[in-house]
Protein backbone atom coordinates (compact mmCIF):
# COMPACT_ATOMS: atom_id res chain seq x y z
CA UNK A 1 0.00 0.00 0.00
CA UNK A 2 2.76 2.43 0.99
CA UNK A 3 4.73 1.57 -2.14
CA UNK A 4 1.66 2.15 -4.29
CA UNK A 5 1.06 5.57 -2.73
CA UNK A 6 4.72 6.44 -3.28
CA UNK A 7 4.45 5.53 -6.97
CA UNK A 8 1.27 7.61 -7.31
CA UNK A 9 2.95 10.56 -5.59
CA UNK A 10 6.01 10.34 -7.83
CA UNK A 11 3.77 10.00 -10.89
CA UNK A 12 1.76 13.09 -10.01
CA UNK A 13 4.91 15.11 -9.20
CA UNK A 14 6.59 14.21 -12.48
CA UNK A 15 3.37 14.84 -14.42
CA UNK A 16 3.29 18.34 -12.95
CA UNK A 17 7.00 18.83 -13.78
CA UNK A 18 6.34 17.81 -17.39
CA UNK A 19 3.41 20.24 -17.54
CA UNK A 20 5.61 23.01 -16.08
CA UNK A 21 8.20 22.33 -18.77
CA UNK A 22 5.47 22.52 -21.41
CA UNK A 23 4.32 25.88 -20.10
CA UNK A 24 7.82 27.28 -19.69
CA UNK A 25 9.15 26.21 -23.10
CA UNK A 26 6.05 25.82 -25.25
CA UNK A 27 3.98 28.83 -24.13
CA UNK A 28 5.87 30.62 -26.88
CA UNK A 29 4.21 28.49 -29.55
CA UNK A 30 0.77 30.17 -29.47
CA UNK A 31 1.83 33.55 -28.02
CA UNK A 32 5.08 34.62 -29.64
CA UNK A 33 3.45 36.15 -32.73
CA UNK A 34 1.00 38.33 -30.78
CA UNK A 35 3.76 39.47 -28.43
CA UNK A 36 6.45 39.80 -31.09
CA UNK A 37 4.24 41.92 -33.36
CA UNK A 38 3.19 44.17 -30.48
CA UNK A 39 -0.52 43.35 -30.68
CA UNK A 40 -0.71 42.02 -27.09
CA UNK A 41 1.38 42.45 -23.98
CA UNK A 42 3.15 39.38 -22.62
CA UNK A 43 0.79 39.14 -19.65
CA UNK A 44 -2.41 39.38 -21.70
CA UNK A 45 -1.13 36.84 -24.20
CA UNK A 46 -0.28 34.38 -21.41
CA UNK A 47 -3.72 34.79 -19.81
CA UNK A 48 -5.43 33.92 -23.11
CA UNK A 49 -2.97 31.06 -23.56
CA UNK A 50 -3.84 29.52 -20.19
CA UNK A 51 -7.61 29.84 -20.68
CA UNK A 52 -7.67 28.16 -24.08
CA UNK A 53 -5.09 25.52 -23.17
CA UNK A 54 -7.47 24.49 -20.38
CA UNK A 55 -10.38 24.24 -22.83
CA UNK A 56 -8.38 22.15 -25.30
CA UNK A 57 -7.04 19.85 -22.58
CA UNK A 58 -10.44 19.23 -21.02
CA UNK A 59 -12.48 18.90 -24.22
CA UNK A 60 -10.07 17.02 -26.51
CA UNK A 61 -7.01 16.07 -24.48
CA UNK A 62 -8.17 12.46 -24.35
CA UNK A 63 -7.49 12.10 -28.09
CA UNK A 64 -3.71 12.03 -27.66
CA UNK A 65 -2.51 9.91 -24.73
CA UNK A 66 1.28 9.84 -24.99
CA UNK A 67 2.32 6.71 -23.13
CA UNK A 68 6.07 6.74 -22.70
CA UNK A 69 8.06 4.87 -25.31
CA UNK A 70 5.11 2.97 -26.82
CA UNK A 71 6.49 1.03 -29.78
CA UNK A 72 9.98 2.54 -29.62
CA UNK A 73 11.07 -0.04 -27.04
CA UNK A 74 9.35 -3.29 -26.18
CA UNK A 75 8.70 -2.34 -22.57
CA UNK A 76 9.42 0.54 -20.22
CA UNK A 77 9.47 -0.38 -16.53
CA UNK A 78 8.24 1.92 -13.79
CA UNK A 79 11.83 2.86 -12.95
CA UNK A 80 12.53 3.35 -16.64
CA UNK A 81 9.51 5.65 -17.01
CA UNK A 82 10.70 7.70 -14.07
CA UNK A 83 14.19 8.06 -15.57
CA UNK A 84 12.83 8.91 -19.02
CA UNK A 85 10.60 11.68 -17.72
CA UNK A 86 13.17 13.10 -15.32
CA UNK A 87 15.92 13.28 -17.92
CA UNK A 88 13.61 14.81 -20.54
CA UNK A 89 12.45 17.46 -18.09
CA UNK A 90 16.00 18.30 -17.02
CA UNK A 91 17.01 18.82 -20.66
CA UNK A 92 13.94 20.99 -21.36
CA UNK A 93 14.61 23.03 -18.22
CA UNK A 94 18.18 23.67 -19.36
CA UNK A 95 17.08 24.72 -22.86
CA UNK A 96 14.34 26.97 -21.46
CA UNK A 97 16.90 28.66 -19.23
CA UNK A 98 18.92 29.34 -22.38
CA UNK A 99 15.82 30.63 -24.20
CA UNK A 100 15.85 27.80 -26.75
CA UNK A 101 12.59 26.25 -28.04
CA UNK A 102 12.84 22.46 -27.99
CA UNK A 103 10.34 19.66 -28.44
CA UNK A 104 8.99 17.75 -25.46
CA UNK A 105 8.31 14.85 -27.83
CA UNK A 106 11.93 14.93 -29.02
CA UNK A 107 13.16 14.99 -25.44
CA UNK A 108 11.03 12.06 -24.30
CA UNK A 109 11.83 9.93 -27.35
CA UNK A 110 15.54 10.65 -26.91
CA UNK A 111 15.30 9.61 -23.28
CA UNK A 112 13.51 6.40 -24.26
CA UNK A 113 16.33 5.63 -26.70
CA UNK A 114 18.90 6.05 -23.93
CA UNK A 115 16.91 3.77 -21.65
CA UNK A 116 16.44 1.16 -24.38
CA UNK A 117 20.12 1.05 -25.33
CA UNK A 118 21.32 0.80 -21.71
CA UNK A 119 18.80 -1.92 -20.86
CA UNK A 120 18.86 -3.98 -24.05
CA UNK A 121 21.67 -2.71 -26.28
CA UNK A 122 21.10 -1.39 -29.79
CA UNK A 123 18.74 -4.30 -30.40
CA UNK A 124 16.51 -3.05 -27.59
CA UNK A 125 15.23 -0.19 -29.76
CA UNK A 126 12.70 -0.56 -32.56
CA UNK A 127 14.48 1.66 -35.07
CA UNK A 128 11.70 1.32 -37.65
CA UNK A 129 9.16 2.83 -35.24
CA UNK A 130 11.65 5.51 -34.27
CA UNK A 131 12.02 6.40 -37.94
CA UNK A 132 8.26 6.70 -38.30
CA UNK A 133 8.13 9.07 -35.35
CA UNK A 134 10.92 11.08 -36.95
CA UNK A 135 8.81 11.62 -40.06
CA UNK A 136 6.27 13.62 -38.05
CA UNK A 137 9.11 15.82 -36.76
CA UNK A 138 9.98 16.71 -40.35
CA UNK A 139 6.38 16.98 -41.56
CA UNK A 140 5.12 19.40 -38.92
CA UNK A 141 7.58 22.31 -39.45
CA UNK A 142 7.55 21.93 -43.23
CA UNK A 143 3.75 21.84 -43.40
CA UNK A 144 3.45 24.84 -41.09
CA UNK A 145 6.12 26.80 -43.00
CA UNK A 146 4.51 26.11 -46.38
CA UNK A 147 1.05 27.03 -45.11
CA UNK A 148 2.37 30.21 -43.46
CA UNK A 149 4.20 31.22 -46.64
CA UNK A 150 1.01 30.91 -48.72
CA UNK A 151 -1.29 32.42 -46.11
CA UNK A 152 0.90 35.49 -45.62
CA UNK A 153 1.00 36.08 -49.37
CA UNK A 154 -2.80 35.94 -49.43
CA UNK A 155 -3.34 38.17 -46.39
CA UNK A 156 -0.70 40.73 -47.37
CA UNK A 157 -2.41 41.28 -50.70
CA UNK A 158 -6.03 41.30 -49.46
CA UNK A 159 -6.15 42.85 -45.97
CA UNK A 160 -4.78 46.31 -46.92
CA UNK A 161 -7.65 46.69 -49.40
CA UNK A 162 -10.27 46.24 -46.71
CA UNK A 163 -11.70 49.04 -44.65
CA UNK A 164 -10.44 48.71 -41.07
CA UNK A 165 -7.89 46.19 -42.35
CA UNK A 166 -5.57 46.73 -39.37
CA UNK A 167 -8.41 45.97 -36.95
CA UNK A 168 -9.19 42.75 -38.80
CA UNK A 169 -5.52 41.82 -38.72
CA UNK A 170 -5.31 42.26 -34.96
CA UNK A 171 -8.53 40.33 -34.45
CA UNK A 172 -7.18 37.51 -36.62
CA UNK A 173 -4.00 37.37 -34.56
CA UNK A 174 -5.88 37.17 -31.25
CA UNK A 175 -8.20 34.50 -32.68
CA UNK A 176 -5.20 32.55 -33.96
CA UNK A 177 -3.54 32.70 -30.53
CA UNK A 178 -6.69 31.31 -28.89
CA UNK A 179 -7.08 28.60 -31.54
CA UNK A 180 -3.40 27.68 -31.32
CA UNK A 181 -3.56 27.49 -27.52
CA UNK A 182 -6.65 25.28 -27.74
CA UNK A 183 -4.89 22.97 -30.21
CA UNK A 184 -1.83 22.92 -27.97
CA UNK A 185 -3.93 21.90 -24.97
CA UNK A 186 -5.64 19.17 -26.98
CA UNK A 187 -2.34 17.75 -28.31
CA UNK A 188 0.24 18.30 -25.58
CA UNK A 189 -1.56 17.69 -22.31
CA UNK A 190 -1.15 14.04 -23.34
CA UNK A 191 2.51 14.31 -22.32
CA UNK A 192 1.58 14.90 -18.68
CA UNK A 193 -1.26 12.37 -18.85
CA UNK A 194 0.97 9.71 -20.38
CA UNK A 195 3.61 10.22 -17.71
CA UNK A 196 1.23 9.30 -14.91
CA UNK A 197 -0.32 6.38 -16.77
CA UNK A 198 3.11 4.97 -17.61
CA UNK A 199 4.58 5.29 -14.13
CA UNK A 200 1.49 3.83 -12.43
CA UNK A 201 1.01 1.09 -15.03
CA UNK A 202 1.61 -1.69 -12.50
CA UNK A 203 -1.10 -0.46 -10.13
CA UNK A 204 -4.07 -2.28 -11.63
CA UNK A 205 -6.55 -0.90 -9.08
CA UNK A 206 -6.39 2.62 -10.50
CA UNK A 207 -9.42 3.36 -12.72
CA UNK A 208 -7.61 5.02 -15.64
CA UNK A 209 -10.72 6.46 -17.33
CA UNK A 210 -11.81 8.33 -14.20
CA UNK A 211 -8.38 9.91 -13.89
CA UNK A 212 -8.36 11.61 -17.30
CA UNK A 213 -10.21 14.78 -16.28
CA UNK A 214 -8.15 15.16 -13.12
CA UNK A 215 -4.91 14.67 -15.03
CA UNK A 216 -6.00 17.19 -17.64
CA UNK A 217 -6.65 19.74 -14.89
CA UNK A 218 -3.30 18.97 -13.23
CA UNK A 219 -1.56 19.35 -16.57
CA UNK A 220 -3.32 22.63 -17.25
CA UNK A 221 -2.28 24.00 -13.86
CA UNK A 222 1.34 22.99 -14.43
CA UNK A 223 1.36 24.56 -17.90
CA UNK A 224 0.00 27.82 -16.47
CA UNK A 225 2.66 27.94 -13.74
CA UNK A 226 5.42 27.26 -16.28
CA UNK A 227 4.10 29.91 -18.65
CA UNK A 228 4.03 32.64 -16.02
CA UNK A 229 7.43 31.81 -14.51
CA UNK A 230 9.84 31.10 -17.38
CA UNK A 231 7.64 31.43 -20.47
CA UNK A 232 9.10 34.82 -21.36
CA UNK A 233 12.55 33.33 -22.05
CA UNK A 234 11.58 31.37 -25.17
CA UNK A 235 8.96 33.94 -26.24
CA UNK A 236 11.74 36.51 -26.48
CA UNK A 237 13.80 34.26 -28.78
CA UNK A 238 11.02 33.09 -31.11
CA UNK A 239 8.87 36.23 -31.07
CA UNK A 240 11.60 38.81 -31.57
CA UNK A 241 14.82 37.26 -32.84
CA UNK A 242 13.97 34.98 -35.80
CA UNK A 243 12.46 37.80 -37.88
CA UNK A 244 10.75 41.16 -37.40
CA UNK A 245 7.07 40.32 -37.07
CA UNK A 246 4.27 42.70 -37.96
CA UNK A 247 0.56 41.97 -37.23
CA UNK A 248 -0.11 40.47 -40.68
CA UNK A 249 2.93 38.19 -40.43
CA UNK A 250 1.98 37.24 -36.89
CA UNK A 251 -1.61 36.43 -37.85
CA UNK A 252 -0.53 34.25 -40.78
CA UNK A 253 2.11 32.41 -38.74
CA UNK A 254 -0.11 31.81 -35.72
CA UNK A 255 -3.07 30.62 -37.78
CA UNK A 256 -0.83 28.28 -39.79
CA UNK A 257 0.64 26.85 -36.60
CA UNK A 258 -2.81 26.33 -35.07
CA UNK A 259 -4.27 24.70 -38.18
CA UNK A 260 -1.27 22.37 -38.57
CA UNK A 261 -1.34 21.16 -34.96
CA UNK A 262 -5.12 20.83 -34.86
CA UNK A 263 -5.28 18.83 -38.10
CA UNK A 264 -2.46 16.49 -37.03
CA UNK A 265 -4.40 15.94 -33.79
CA UNK A 266 -7.93 15.57 -35.14
CA UNK A 267 -7.81 13.99 -38.61
CA UNK A 268 -5.81 10.87 -37.62
CA UNK A 269 -8.17 10.44 -34.66
CA UNK A 270 -11.21 10.58 -36.96
CA UNK A 271 -9.63 8.12 -39.41
CA UNK A 272 -7.70 5.74 -37.17
CA UNK A 273 -8.86 6.41 -33.61
CA UNK A 274 -5.66 8.13 -32.41
CA UNK A 275 -4.21 11.60 -32.71
CA UNK A 276 -0.65 12.09 -33.97
CA UNK A 277 1.61 13.53 -31.22
CA UNK A 278 3.54 16.05 -33.30
CA UNK A 279 5.89 18.74 -32.06
CA UNK A 280 4.02 22.01 -31.63
CA UNK A 281 7.40 23.71 -31.15
CA UNK A 282 8.66 22.70 -34.58
CA UNK A 283 5.37 23.74 -36.18
CA UNK A 284 5.50 27.12 -34.47
CA UNK A 285 9.08 27.92 -35.46
CA UNK A 286 8.43 26.64 -38.99
CA UNK A 287 5.45 28.96 -39.41
CA UNK A 288 7.48 32.01 -38.35
CA UNK A 289 10.27 31.12 -40.74
CA UNK A 290 7.62 30.68 -43.46
CA UNK A 291 6.17 34.18 -43.07
CA UNK A 292 9.64 35.69 -42.75
CA UNK A 293 10.77 34.16 -46.02
CA UNK A 294 7.47 35.08 -47.67
CA UNK A 295 7.84 38.78 -46.79
CA UNK A 296 11.62 39.29 -47.00
CA UNK A 297 14.07 36.45 -46.50
CA UNK A 298 16.83 38.95 -45.72
CA UNK A 299 15.09 39.79 -42.44
CA UNK A 300 15.25 36.17 -41.25
CA UNK A 301 18.13 35.62 -38.82
CA UNK A 302 20.11 32.61 -40.00
CA UNK A 303 22.20 32.78 -36.82
CA UNK A 304 19.18 32.31 -34.56
CA UNK A 305 17.73 29.62 -36.81
CA UNK A 306 21.01 27.69 -36.72
CA UNK A 307 21.10 28.05 -32.94
CA UNK A 308 17.56 26.66 -32.67
CA UNK A 309 18.32 23.86 -35.14
CA UNK A 310 21.40 22.99 -33.09
CA UNK A 311 19.24 22.61 -29.99
CA UNK A 312 16.85 20.37 -31.96
CA UNK A 313 19.69 18.20 -33.27
CA UNK A 314 21.28 17.79 -29.84
CA UNK A 315 18.00 17.11 -28.03
CA UNK A 316 17.76 13.40 -28.87
CA UNK A 317 21.41 12.43 -28.13
CA UNK A 318 21.67 14.62 -25.03
CA UNK A 319 18.41 13.33 -23.57
CA UNK A 320 19.50 9.77 -24.41
CA UNK A 321 22.86 10.10 -22.64
CA UNK A 322 21.28 11.79 -19.64
CA UNK A 323 18.60 9.11 -19.31
CA UNK A 324 21.12 6.30 -19.71
CA UNK A 325 23.25 7.77 -16.93
CA UNK A 326 20.31 8.33 -14.56
CA UNK A 327 18.91 4.84 -15.18
CA UNK A 328 22.30 3.21 -14.63
CA UNK A 329 22.74 5.10 -11.36
CA UNK A 330 19.25 4.46 -9.97
CA UNK A 331 19.16 0.86 -11.14
CA UNK A 332 22.40 0.22 -9.28
CA UNK A 333 21.10 1.88 -6.10
CA UNK A 334 17.57 0.48 -6.13
Strand partners, 73: 70, 125
The DSSP code for 239 is: I
What's the confidence (pLDDT) of residue 327?
93
> What does the domain layout of the chain look like in residue ranges?
2-333
DSSP letter string over 115-155? HHHHHH-GGGB-HHHHHHHHHHHHHHHHHHHHHHHHHHHHH
Neighbouring CB atoms inside 10 A of 286's CB total 25
The answer to whether residues 174 and 47 touch, using CB atoms and an 8 Å cutoff, is: no
Angle between helices 2-26 and 280-296 (to 10 degrees): 0
Element housing 25 (H / E)? helix 2-26
pLDDT, tens digit (0-9, with 9 covering 90-100), for 123-160? 777 776 667 666 767 888 888 999 999 999 888 888 76
What's the confidence (pLDDT) of residue 311?
93
pLDDT, tens digit (0-9, with 9 covering 90-100), for 232-242? 999 999 999 99
Predicted model pTM: 0.86
The answer to whether residues 52 and 187 touch, using CB atoms and an 8 Å cutoff, is: no
DSSP letter string over 174-196? HHHHHHHHHHHHHHHHHHHHHHH
Amino acid sequence: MAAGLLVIGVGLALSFYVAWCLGANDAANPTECAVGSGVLSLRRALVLFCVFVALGAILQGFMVIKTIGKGVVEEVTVLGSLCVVLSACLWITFCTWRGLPVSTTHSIIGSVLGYGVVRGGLGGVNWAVFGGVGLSWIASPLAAAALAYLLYSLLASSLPRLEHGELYTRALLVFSLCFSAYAFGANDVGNATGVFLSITSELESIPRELLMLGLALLGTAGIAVGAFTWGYRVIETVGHRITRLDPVMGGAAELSNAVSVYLFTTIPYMLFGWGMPISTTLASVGSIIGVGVSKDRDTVSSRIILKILGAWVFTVPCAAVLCGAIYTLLNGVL
